[in-house]
Structure 1
Amino acid sequence: MALKTWREIAIPHEDVLKGTFQQAEFAADISRVHEGSATPEYQNAALFFQRTFVTEGMRLLLDSVVRRLVGKGGDPVIQLQTAFGGGKTHTMLAVYHIAKGDQPASSLQGVSAILDGAEITELPRARVAVLDGINLSPNQPKTRTSGATKVKVNTLWGELAWQLGGVEGYERVRDADDSGTSPGKEVLSELLVTFAPCVVLIDELVAYVRQFEHGRSYSGGTYDSNLSFVQALTEAVKAVPNAVLLASLPESDREAGSQNGVAALAALSHYFGRVQALWKPVATEEAFEIVRRRLFENISDRLGAENVCRSYADMYAGNSGEFPAETRESHYFDRMKHAYPVHPEVFDRLYEDWSSLDNFQRTRGVLKLMATVIHRLWQDGNNDLLIQPASLPLYASEVRNEAINYLVQGWDPVLEKDIDGERATTTSLDSQKPLLGSIQACRRVARTIFLGSAPDAGSVGGSKQQRGLELERIYLGVAQPGQVLGYYGDAVRAVEDRLQYLNGANNRFWFDTRPNLRREMEDRKRHFDERGDVYPLIRERLRFAPGVFAGVHIFTSSNDVPDDWSLRLVVLPPDAAFSRSIPGGATDRATTFLQTRGDQPRIKQNRLIFLAAEADSVGRLKDHVRSVLAWQSIVNDVKESRLNLDQLQAKQASRELDTANDALARMVKESYKWLLAPVQHASRAEGITDLVWEHFPVNPAAANRMQEIEQILRDNELLITQWAPIHLRGQLQTWFWKDSEPTANALDYWHKSCAYLYLPRLKDADVLRATLEAGATTTDFFGFAYGREEGRYVGFQFGKSVAPILDETLLLIEPTAANAYADQLVNEEKARQKAVAPAEEPDPNPGALESDGAGNTAASPASVAAAAQKTTANPGSGAPRAVKRSFFGAIDLDPIRAEMQFVDVVHEVINVLLASPNVRLKVSIEIEAEAEDGFEENLQRAIKENCAALKFKQHGFEE
């Protein structure tokens, strides 16, 4: 069943529809009614009760009044004490119209039931005296006329007597009126008895009495004489069975005004307190019906209205964790029905929050604001199911002006820039996201927060101890049945992130007239330089352990990335981002890196892997960086006392910095997600292909990014950390071994694998060493030798477990050739033995030849090794070589590459010597430097200090 919108069920009164209402129409003026000059809705008794909701409190008060007027009991003195704009004057008007009896009770809506309850068939017409403290002046007598008689009335008691009995009544108090002294209780009692039944209505009494200065006499009497009159009047009314007195007093000292007003309120409260019946006329719940009756005609479709309220109640019950607890109670459903077509949350915020403002009249202010709102909503064709806080058309100037009229200065830019209107940020946010824009989610959220927070966040006199509107109340103010609640959650996050006057803390949100720290942050973001500030922070956040790489070079120029044998990861800057759909960018920059090192060509091209950012993410990444820099500068300025913030804002800045840092950490991982590896494919038949860039996404959620990168490289065979000898043999057969030359230099293979992209990319030389060692145990892959002299292999090894030394002499021999050479060695050994040994002499190596069981013999591996050692010890001779007992080596290092070259010397020479337990090693370094113009003093001092710290045996500068 389709739910009807509020405009289909509730029709506003004509003056609301046309916008012809005036502020004065909402301010009941009892003096104007008494004089006959009020507007029809107040002057006409029938129309007044038609638009007046008789609350429970008002019903009890009217019951007491009518009983008193007919002498059946009732309270003689009633004090109406409510907050400013709380309906006390409106209540007096109800008493006034009933007591006057200008129209029969049957024509006054709701009055007949009161009379029936009091068992009164006909109410007598009573005399009514209205004493309005605003309409009377202590020092300006009023001239009253009756026929040809004119009387100058000076005091409250003179005015009371005149209104009750005209000239006759006034004569009873003339002397007291002329002298400004209060008449006694007996005089007033006789006056009331004579003109009873009567009603005395005193409005704004404090406003009148506070004008009297102590010790000074006025035509209206003195301060003390007026207090005496009040005391005497209350006692007199009490003594007259069919007389009743209603007086209104402010509820607080603030409403009493000056010090005189506070003193007057205290004194009057004391005197009324002795005999009064205290009554507070309007509860918040009843105010719903008061406002609804004044603004709307009767509800045309009660069932339709109830269906709407039921749908809201079902939504609250189905999402109980997202809304305030009271929405799950059955009582809340009744509240919605009473308040229809206005949502109870609107009244709650106005009566609980806005009525705490100094100049917001409780009932009149609500009526005036809501009349303006409803008029504009009707004009604009609003189709909400209920008029909620989110429905307020704050984009309309008349609504905006009415709202901010009660607030301190400075709300115009808040509403225009952040909350509502064509140029508001919320409008932009809704237009950017269709799902939010379809329900105006951001605008509705902002309107709701404004209504619930403006009195406290930007005004004096706020009522809440804790600032802001809770998230559950935001949902209450915006959500309608059938909508996805999650969209509003997204909207809250969007406005929290973008609005400049919106503040948030502890899951509460509020607007303020002061720009929040976000605006300060946004201003500062524009001041950071991309190259000087943004890139360095990205570089800092990209640092991670090198892992398999000898170095990770972040935003480094090609000239500063060494061209050596080490595996290196090059992280490209944001301006060299990668996109699968648009070539160039990262691959162009990486190609330049790969081919050149500064002005020189790069040789070891197969030692570089690249990491690049996603092109579509670079803009967001830079923005995140600027946010972090801005928040960090704010926090620093607070610590250094360069920026004054309150405690809440200082905590907010620190919290925002933490949030921005967390977001940047995620953004860096999400942005730098592309691993780029240069590859060439080659075959003898087709040759070498052009350069190809293989790209692989890195999982941003990986706990260890370097391990993830290594895994990607290994899984895609772009990095080899363990290599089987059979694969090495295949590479050697394809590219190195030839029929004419069945050997390959092992170190040359390592160097070429570092240079050529079509060869396997080994992690380091240790991988090749391990592969050689693993292949040495069998005759399937390759043989070893440490050079070749006069056609013979030096240090030949084949099919024996050895740990070969990877140096410039190590040769890898094709297995067929190695096997043939091994056979040659065996045969040579046989021949040598026959040549040098007597026939009868026993074989010194009986295991040299072994039988295979079929009559064939072959050399054992041990004999082959022995023969190889003898042969290679002195090629062409059986004599052993001289024992070498010392080693000396010298090398000139390139000063620019000295660090890397010295590492190679240590690794390839020193560590190999240290591997032998019997070697004693001594290493010295000599450094010579010359400067034609001489060395600067600062340089000399630095060198001397560093040499001393490093414990140089000798060092110094010479002329």
Structure 2
Amino acid sequence: MKPWREIAIPHKDVLEGTFQQSEFAADITAVSTGKAGREYQDAVAFFERTYITEGMGLLLTQVAQRLAGRGGEPVVQLQTAFGGGKTHTMLAVYHLATRKCALSDLAGVPILVDRAGLMDVPQARVAVIDGTAHAPGQAWKRGKQVIKTLWGELAWQLGGAEAFAMVKDADATGTSPGKDVLRELLTAYAPCAVLIDELVAYVRQFSEGQALSGGTYDSNLSFVQALTEGVKLVPNAIVLASLPESEVEAGSQRGVAALRALEKTFGRIQALWKPVATEEAFEIVRRRLFEPMRDAKARESVCRAFADAYVSEGAKLPAETQEGRYYDRLLQAYPIHPEVFDRLYEDWTTIDGFQRTRGVLKLMAKVIYRLWKDDNKDLMILPGSLPLHDGSSRNELTYYLPAGWDAVIERDIDGDRAETTELENKEPRFGQVGAARRVARTIFLGSAPSSVATKVTTRGIDRARIVLGCLQPGQASSVYADALNRLSDRLHYLNASGDKVQDATRFWFDTRANLRREMEDRKRRFDDKTEVRGRIAEALKKAVGNAAFFDGVHIFTPHADIPDDTALRLVVLPPENWYSREESRAAFDSVLDRVRNNGSKPRYRGNRLIFLAADHGALSRVNDAARVALAWASIVDDVKEGRLNIDLLQKNQAEKELKTADEVLPRATRECYKWLLCPVQETPTDPKPNVEAFALNTTAGSVGGEIERVCTDNELVIATWSPIHLRTKLKELYWKEGQNAAGAAAFFEDTLRYLYMPRFKSRDVLAQAIKAGAASRDFFGTAYGQSGEGFEGFALGGGSVVFDDTLLLIEPDAAKVYDAHQKTLTTAPTDMGGAAPDTGAGRSGGFSDSATGQYGGLTTTANFLARSKSFHGSADIAPATAKMRLVQIAEEIIAVLGSDPNATVKLVLEVSAEFPEGATDTVKRAVSENARSLGLKTAEWE
């Protein structure tokens, strides 16, 4: 496909840059006096470059019919926006009426004449009343004749001195000549046309109640009313008058009052004129700026390629591009893309002062000149093609905008030092198509008018329209979408609002730096060690602070502040102690340091700590997320406190961004802190402990639940333990070298200290394992003390067990031998060859003599032929095991004796204590009070 420059050739004056601003301003007075350029002065040349719009065609048809006396409206008011083509339309009427050539030489006119049902249009006299040509307080001369008023000028132009004589007295006195005189004047010189331009500019110069040579304010309004009333009585005369549409164009308050008065006057008899449609403007601009198209097939090929590309992109582009008629719009607008016209006519024309036709012509002439000089090879001139780096083109747009836009364009949009240029230099994918600059230019064209107080109510343009302003056939829309995403985070003056979805976010440039840039500036101010770390700690606390699996969670806590006790604790390492598979030293050294040390003191229970560390690859992201959250929070706080002045839209944006940042930080934190580190030691003889790392699933449920799963699955923490594992560990480490008994409490204490020991979730895990093992004869025996070779409170299988500091776990084989020996001591012959009565001594092991260590206790008699009448027993009980021993005696001796209903059982408890150094007052007072409350028969101190 050929670029636009090979299909559409601009006019010579556009190519050479020799056009002047005045050439775009049609001046009806200059034409009527023969002082205009050829393109305006010559009727043939004028119609060659003029596209007859629907409104102009209807008007010329009315004029042709009226001049021929075949109907038509007598008065037509031309009232459109500034630059809407009013004066140009009057020139078309002027050339139609005053032509010096055949109608067939005027391009487009013969068709209109046929439509009017005429064979010809008579040549007519034309009077041009230009409100800017004369001053109401200063007379002017036509030859030797002095003329003071508009009606005098009207008569002179229609019929010279003869016609002027009809209104001479009214001109001299400055009073309106009246409807009848004007009717006679128009009838005498019909067919005729009266073209009145810029009338408001003339009338507003009259001060209220002040008479000038040109009459008064009221007399001029009376003249206009008389003229409109008189012309309708002349069938082949017509009046065309142009009025501004807006009060801004009318000027001062007096101008506005004049406009309203004239609107009422013309409103009595008028036919409104239809303004130029956007599609018609396509042809107007093309005829004025380009030579006639010579290669229609090439143009159609390019337009078809654009239309097909838009259909293939689908929902990524505006809905109208999916319709078949968009191809027709492309053809009509070629070589300028319809989106350029839409933005200029829909957005830029809302700015007071920007002219609908003249402003667009001036801008596009400069744009085309620069693109031609730069050898632009785009297929069409798109919004993304605008050479905003060119001062002349840029000034044509910034002239209508508030101050400050030059800095925005130079820094963010277009130019050698712009951020967009820098991004394209770094990213070849963007640089190949100029994606960043094209995106920025498109946003500027579509959003800059909203910086002015205009009719634009929705700020910015959406993603689909931005892509439309950049995309050409053969290119991927994703390149421009990616460029937009990069720019939205990078540019100072680019703003965005809406949800983060394709069709909801809108983008615009403003002369104030955007809040995102303010955020970017602020987030650099925060200190890593205090503010950033504190914000990450807050997020971690919400994520793992309530992990019920641990007795305590310590986030970035110093050595000395982590208690050295029996509680199971999760320690979250600070960011500098990060972990990665390639480099683990920083994390591992920190773990082992905390296991060994408790501040300046050694740590004794290091096996109660599990560690959570940051992933090195994700650390920068979580740091950035924390800074972003801090920055947005500071902006929102400053807005609330009045320290930062922004508009409501930006305030809502800041609050929404803060909410998003607060949602992103926990996710980033979880993705970063994903390594569970566990200190380990395989055997007691290992020279140095090690650290194992386990990756957490960052997409699982809660963080606490995931840590619990990893700890349980990998047996880093044991929540339930089998007696067989307890027996194995006791055999491995405790039941050896002649030692057949191990203290349960000492075993648990060792699990707290040594990394080669199992790490229990709590003491209850060991207690349950002991309880389950004590119920069987296969795992271990239990006792509550040992004297020599004897055990106090010995049991093997089926006995109740209390896990206290005196509990002993006895190797099962030794326990069985001891149990068998105990049973032989209690076995004796009975009368009739029967067994001895079960006294329970075999289960309890009798009573141990703590002094001699001999087994004995119950006094037994070999001869049970005569029934025993009484029983007496005594025992020495060690104070350390008194509680358990007394319970056993009560259950296994006293309860058995009391089972005989005829037995009378009496217990006497004797307690004696010796204090070589003397008992303290505290002990004496406590024992005496307790003795009284318990009802002891004697309680004496000596």
Partner of 1:927: none
1:623 aligns with 2:624: yes
Q: How far off its partner does 1:126 sit?
A: 3.0
Partner of 2:455: 463
Q: How far off its partner does 1:546 sit?
A: 3.3
1:371 aligns with 2:365: yes
The secondary structure found in structure 1 opposite 2:576 is coil
The secondary structure found in structure 2 opposite 1:784 is strand
Partner of 2:280: 286
* Pairing 1:507-586 to 2, within 5 Å after superposition: 507=504, 508-543=506-541, 544-586=545-587
CA contact (8 A) 2:139 2:213 kept: yes
Q: How far off its partner does 1:769 sit?
A: 2.0
Of 754, 767, 780, the residue aligned with 1:769 is 767
475-484 or 345-354, larger mean C-alpha shift: 475-484
Q: How far off its partner does 1:414 sit?
A: 3.0
1:877 aligns with 2:871: no
Of 346, 353, 378, the residue aligned with 1:352 is 346
Of 788, 804, 812, the residue aligned with 2:809 is 812
Closer, same or farther: CA 839–231 of 1 in aligned 2, 3 Å: closer
Could you tell me how far apart the structure 1 residues matched to 2:117 and 2:134 are? 38
Q: Calculate the TM-score normalised by the size of structure 2.
A: 0.83
For residues 761-798 of structure 1, what are the alpha-carbon distances to aligned partners after superposition, in whole Å with 9 as ceiling and x for unaligned?
22222222222223333344333333432122333333
Could you tell me how far apart the structure 1 residues matched to 2:432 and 2:760 are? 57
Q: How far off its partner does 1:88 sit?
A: 0.5
Q: How far off its partner does 1:338 sit?
A: 1.8
Partner of 1:904: none
For residues 356-383 of structure 1, what are the alpha-carbon distances to aligned partners after superposition, in whole Å with 9 as ceiling and x for unaligned?
2111111111222222333333444445
Of 833, 837, 842, the residue aligned with 2:834 is 842
Could you tell me how far apart the structure 1 residues matched to 2:169 and 2:693 are? 109
Partner of 1:65: 63
Could you tell me how far apart the structure 1 residues matched to 2:695 and 2:417 are? 41
The amino acid of 1:771's aligned partner reads: A
Closer, same or farther: CA 17–746 of 1 in aligned 2, 3 Å: farther
The secondary structure found in structure 1 opposite 2:114 is helix
Partner of 1:853: none
Partner of 1:928: none
The secondary structure found in structure 2 opposite 1:688 is coil
Q: How far off its partner does 1:202 sit?
A: 1.5
Of 109, 114, 117, the residue aligned with 1:116 is 114
Could you tell me how far apart the structure 2 residues matched to 1:374 and 1:689 are? 81
The amino acid of 2:562's aligned partner reads: V
Partner of 2:387: 393
Partner of 2:670: 669
Q: Calculate the TM-score normalised by the size of structure 1.
A: 0.82
52-61 or 133-142, larger mean C-alpha shift: 133-142
CA contact (8 A) 1:681 1:689 kept: no
Could you tell me how far apart the structure 1 residues matched to 2:295 and 2:777 are? 100
CA contact (8 A) 1:101 1:123 kept: no
CA contact (8 A) 2:785 2:881 kept: no
Closer, same or farther: CA 709–440 of 1 in aligned 2, 3 Å: farther
* Pairing 1:75-474 to 2, within 5 Å after superposition: 75-145=73-143, 150-314=144-308, 321-427=315-421, 442-456=436-450, 458-460=451-453, 462-474=454-466
CA contact (8 A) 1:156 1:220 kept: yes
Closer, same or farther: CA 431–576 of 1 in aligned 2, 3 Å: farther
Could you tell me how far apart the structure 1 residues matched to 2:15 and 2:586 are? 62
Could you tell me how far apart the structure 1 residues matched to 2:846 and 2:19 are? 119
The amino acid of 2:255's aligned partner reads: G
Q: How far off its partner does 1:425 sit?
A: 4.4
Q: How far off its partner does 1:185 sit?
A: 4.0
342-351 or 700-709, larger mean C-alpha shift: 342-351
The amino acid of 1:465's aligned partner reads: T
Q: How far off its partner does 1:424 sit?
A: 4.1
Closer, same or farther: CA 418–338 of 1 in aligned 2, 3 Å: same
The amino acid of 2:813's aligned partner reads: T
Closer, same or farther: CA 281–227 of 1 in aligned 2, 3 Å: same
Could you tell me how far apart the structure 1 residues matched to 2:432 and 2:449 are? 30
The amino acid of 2:15's aligned partner reads: L
Partner of 2:871: none
Could you tell me how far apart the structure 2 residues matched to 1:529 and 1:695 are? 30
For residues 377-413 of structure 1, what are the alpha-carbon distances to aligned partners after superposition, in whole Å with 9 as ceiling and x for unaligned?
3444445444333433334333332211111223233
Could you tell me how far apart the structure 2 residues matched to 1:274 and 1:294 are? 36
Partner of 1:717: 715
For residues 598-623 of structure 1, what are the alpha-carbon distances to aligned partners after superposition, in whole Å with 9 as ceiling and x for unaligned?
22233323222211222233333233
CA contact (8 A) 1:688 1:758 kept: no
Could you tell me how far apart the structure 2 residues matched to 1:420 and 1:230 are? 52
Unaligned runs of 5+ in 2: 499-503, 859-873, 885-894, 896-942
Closer, same or farther: CA 689–419 of 1 in aligned 2, 3 Å: farther
* Pairing 1:569-718 to 2, within 5 Å after superposition: 569-682=570-683, 687-688=685-686, 690-718=688-716
The amino acid of 1:293's aligned partner reads: R
The secondary structure found in structure 2 opposite 1:82 is coil
CA contact (8 A) 2:849 2:876 kept: no
CA contact (8 A) 2:795 2:844 kept: no
Closer, same or farther: CA 789–300 of 1 in aligned 2, 3 Å: farther
CA contact (8 A) 1:773 1:801 kept: no
The amino acid of 1:62's aligned partner reads: L
Q: How far off its partner does 1:558 sit?
A: 1.0
CA contact (8 A) 2:847 2:875 kept: no
Closer, same or farther: CA 673–230 of 1 in aligned 2, 3 Å: same
Closer, same or farther: CA 43–612 of 1 in aligned 2, 3 Å: farther
Could you tell me how far apart the structure 2 residues matched to 1:555 and 1:358 are? 61
Could you tell me how far apart the structure 1 residues matched to 2:826 and 2:219 are? 152
Q: How far off its partner does 1:328 sit?
A: 4.2
Count of residue correspondences: 859
Q: How far off its partner does 1:657 sit?
A: 1.9
For residues 67-118 of structure 1, what are the alpha-carbon distances to aligned partners after superposition, in whole Å with 9 as ceiling and x for unaligned?
3333333333222111111100111121222222134333332123223333
CA contact (8 A) 2:141 2:147 kept: yes
CA contact (8 A) 1:682 1:689 kept: no
Could you tell me how far apart the structure 2 residues matched to 1:715 and 1:27 are? 85
Closer, same or farther: CA 729–23 of 1 in aligned 2, 3 Å: farther
Q: How far off its partner does 1:539 sit?
A: 1.4
Could you tell me how far apart the structure 2 residues matched to 1:383 and 1:748 are? 87
Could you tell me how far apart the structure 2 residues matched to 1:178 and 1:774 are? 130
For residues 10-39 of structure 1, what are the alpha-carbon distances to aligned partners after superposition, in whole Å with 9 as ceiling and x for unaligned?
333333334333322221112222233323
The secondary structure found in structure 1 opposite 2:126 is strand
Could you tell me how far apart the structure 1 residues matched to 2:768 and 2:877 are? 28
The secondary structure found in structure 2 opposite 1:251 is coil
Could you tell me how far apart the structure 1 residues matched to 2:303 and 2:672 are? 48
Unaligned runs of 5+ in 1: 849-861, 890-907, 909-917, 919-959
The amino acid of 2:761's aligned partner reads: K
Closer, same or farther: CA 295–675 of 1 in aligned 2, 3 Å: farther
Could you tell me how far apart the structure 2 residues matched to 1:587 and 1:413 are? 52
Could you tell me how far apart the structure 1 residues matched to 2:875 and 2:393 are? 110
CA contact (8 A) 1:794 1:872 kept: no
The secondary structure found in structure 1 opposite 2:240 is strand
Could you tell me how far apart the structure 2 residues matched to 1:405 and 1:833 are? 120
The amino acid of 2:569's aligned partner reads: R
The secondary structure found in structure 2 opposite 1:403 is helix
Closer, same or farther: CA 589–131 of 1 in aligned 2, 3 Å: same
Could you tell me how far apart the structure 2 residues matched to 1:755 and 1:446 are? 65
The secondary structure found in structure 2 opposite 1:553 is strand
Q: How far off its partner does 1:699 sit?
A: 2.5
**Aligned-residue CA RMSD in angstroms?**
3.4
1:35 aligns with 2:36: no
529-538 or 509-518, larger mean C-alpha shift: 509-518
